[in-house]
Amino acid sequence: MVTLAALLVGAGSVGCPEPSGCTAQASLDAPSTTAAPPDAAVSPDAAVPADAAPATTSPETPRPASPRTAETPAPDLSAAVAQAVGAAAGVDLGLAVVDLDTGAAAGHNADTPFRTASLSKLLVAVDMLTSGEVLEEDLKRLSRALSLSDDNAMNALWTLHDGMGAIGRVATQAGLAATQAPTDASQWGDVEMSANDVAKLYSYILTKLPDDSRTFIVNALSAAADTAADGFDQAYGLLAPGIDGYAKQGWMWYLPADFYLHTAGVVGGRYAIAVLSIQTGVGEQTAKNRLTALTTTLLAGLLTQQGTAPHAYGE
């Protein structure tokens, strides 16, 4: 075993594969936990060893930002959310924003549960990092699951670290009211969370986890690359070019035509944002463009009201 501090790394890329669907579903980014590695035509990450060591980065340990002063009024989150929802016509949407400086929150359908796709990897990460020492090999897998969104790594962790039990443990620990384990224990992408729960989980990670655990997660997410382990282009939503933040992406097809596409993370160190969507009868690029338009509008509303760009987390 090794201490977590010895493995604080920034792995290669965020974004994620999800478990292949239930009986009549297909998934872009994750096989079931009991299935063989995905077909190369569907999941190019099969060519990347699941336990290869991630790249190393050493950003400063993030810490909670200082409370805002009276001279800088808090933005109207509800107004920014309303603008964003207006830019998302045709999207079955759950949206939540938490101001990490003030604790204020706003959302749209924020308590509605969605299948998480790879956002469930965040729950497993929190459970593993708060359950005692973890083997070096499993820390490497976890880094890959968060950064490269490596499904093979997640499959192993789900089995080795009681993924089904982890969902309930973290839900209780972090106060996640709408978070539920999947009915089929092999389908970790079918974990359900609301947008509120995802945003609250980020707040919990940043304010309640020990420094080394928090840094491990932030480093892995901050090392996002445009392409996930399975070849999916993740440069949309909160990972679109020019956005100062880190995020976990999720995507999963449910046949015949439902595309689950999510983006959730922290922008500028101040805003925990979760955007969960189901888009029906559209192509992947159209779905990504919609989420990018929504997040761009949301951030423009927040920053226009704030008057300045949000500070980096820990400043």
The domain tally of the chain equals 1
| Collapsed DSSP state (helix, strand, coil) of residue 80 | helix
In a domain, 156, yes or no: yes
245 phi and psi, to 5 degrees? Answer: 180, -170
In a domain, 258, yes or no: yes
The answer to whether 303 and 77 are in contact (CB under 8 A) is: no
CATH of the domain at 195: 3.40.710.10
277: containing domain: 73-306
In a domain, 168, yes or no: yes
The answer to whether 263 and 84 are in contact (CB under 8 A) is: no
- Residue 248 has what pLDDT? 98
- Residue 72 has what pLDDT? 52
Query: Length of the chain in residues, anyone?
Result: 315
Per-10-residue mean pLDDT, the chain, length 315: 42 37 38 35 33 39 42 79 92 97 97 99 98 96 94 97 99 99 98 99 98 98 92 95 96 94 97 98 96 97 66 35
In a domain, 130, yes or no: yes
Q: Which residues does 103 contact at the CB level (< 8 Å), separation at least 6?
A: none
CA count, 13 A, side-chain hemisphere, 118: 40
In a domain, 58, yes or no: no
In a domain, 210, yes or no: yes
